[in-house]
Structure 1
């Protein structure tokens, strides 16, 4: 799935999300890069990879490489369900500083990226909510997905009947990212065709441009 990324009135970048099956596991990768004038103002090149159990939605590993302006961080988060713990190794690629952190986990968890798609497997009825436990990054945060309304959304990939969902949480990255909304197709697929975050420095919107099956 390829998305265009708009910041305010500008086309700011592109994001590509790829799924690949591997037995009972699913590999999910996402790349986001700035383009054009925005790239000159503030260069972003982020790469994410997640491995999770297709049936249960439990994440086993989440890798992240972020280049955002002068900030460059590489991290790996592994979830060991047999040992009941998560292990994170992070390195600052600018100054070389590294840290290793371990924490207990209560059970099956999803990461933030996988959570967007794990939610698509849940029933979505306007006026109702559902919850999912998310690892963020070394603590468990319960994210509530509030199904707010039905709306028609137009993107380069077509016109879609959707349900608008707002993720909320009492702590963690979801709380600290301002307001977030995801528009899922109003059908069995619940394909995320639009995502929007309203932040203190502006609003950024992801719109589905194309879907390719290989």
Structure 2
């Protein structure tokens, strides 16, 4: 189990076994104090699969006190909607001073599948609790696991990373709460690139998130392009999966 110190306990050793090396989970560094999180932002993306548009994704951000609330929706369109309709909603938040996630929930409607889940963090006790509800089978399960003193979640992490210095050749490492585990995600800043989207042409910084396990690894090869300015606004996201590549292209944005 993960302790509050951010390491796993070592298993018992037996003759002939090599000593195990504890897995060290990095400390989540607070956002850069000079970074200005938006009071309100709406980013709308088209989602392309191969040669056609498969859906739309919309990210909303609203600041309430020191908490940045993030909501994302993903909806299928066109032929994809007729074959396999998708209407997903994700909600998360994080403290703009510490970067710590305040929770993560999702409502998935994918084909005949309907799953709702809520992930809550109790940093005082070092525990995370997940409740998963199958809305078709009308069943519910609850799990609890340990977490470090501060973690990110898979949605708000996109915007937490925007608050960190993005220097080509360096990495932003942080702990991610993932399927009742805590995994280390390394955001490698690979280079600078000009990106053209329907919302305009942007000078960007290309970042590749990697992990040894969990949702980041299972999603294949992922790239995120952030604007190369003080905003670090994500304008393109690409995931190369075993069944094809999907790309999020920024269609429009409103930030204040």
How does the TM-score come out when normalised to structure 1?
0.97
Matched residues, number:
214
Which position in structure 2 is the counterpart of 1:41?
83
Paired residue secondary structure (2:166): coil
Following the alignment from structure 2 to structure 1, what is the Cα–Cα distance between the partners of residues 78 and 47?
12
Paired residue secondary structure (2:156): helix
- Is 1:178 equivalent to 2:178 in the alignment? no
1:185–1:193 Cα contact (<8 Å) kept: yes
Which position in structure 1 is the counterpart of 2:48?
6
Q: Which runs of 5+ in 2 are unaligned?
A: 1-42
Which position in structure 2 is the counterpart of 1:99?
141
1:5–1:15 Cα contact (<8 Å) kept: yes
Larger Rg: 2
- Is 1:61 equivalent to 2:107 in the alignment? no
Aligned pair partner of 1:202 in 223, 232, 244: 244
| 1:194 Cα deviation after fit | 0.1
Q: Which runs of 5+ in 1 are unaligned?
A: none
Aligned pair partner of 1:132 in 174, 198, 215: 174
Following the alignment from structure 1 to structure 2, what is the Cα–Cα distance between the partners of residues 181 and 213?
23
Following the alignment from structure 1 to structure 2, what is the Cα–Cα distance between the partners of residues 199 and 153?
21
| 1:44 Cα deviation after fit | 0.8
Following the alignment from structure 2 to structure 1, what is the Cα–Cα distance between the partners of residues 254 and 170?
32
**Structure 1 runs of 4+ with >4 Å offset:** none
Paired residue secondary structure (2:254): coil
Which position in structure 1 is the counterpart of 2:231?
189
Which position in structure 2 is the counterpart of 1:212?
254
More strand as a share of residues: 1
1:77–1:137 Cα contact (<8 Å) kept: no
| 1:175 Cα deviation after fit | 0.6
- Deviations, residues 160-188 of structure 1 (Å, cap 9, x unaligned): 01111110000101011110000011111
Following the alignment from structure 1 to structure 2, what is the Cα–Cα distance between the partners of residues 153 and 51?
28
| 1:51 Cα deviation after fit | 2.2
Following the alignment from structure 2 to structure 1, what is the Cα–Cα distance between the partners of residues 129 and 119?
6
Following the alignment from structure 2 to structure 1, what is the Cα–Cα distance between the partners of residues 220 and 237?
13
Following the alignment from structure 2 to structure 1, what is the Cα–Cα distance between the partners of residues 120 and 199?
35
| 1:97 Cα deviation after fit | 2.1
- Deviations, residues 133-153 of structure 1 (Å, cap 9, x unaligned): 110031111100111121110
| 1:53 Cα deviation after fit | 0.8
How does the TM-score come out when normalised to structure 2?
0.81
Instruction: Give 1:103-114 correspondences, 5 Å limit.
Output: 103-114=145-156
- Deviations, residues 104-135 of structure 1 (Å, cap 9, x unaligned): 11111010111111111111121221201110
| 1:212 Cα deviation after fit | 1.6
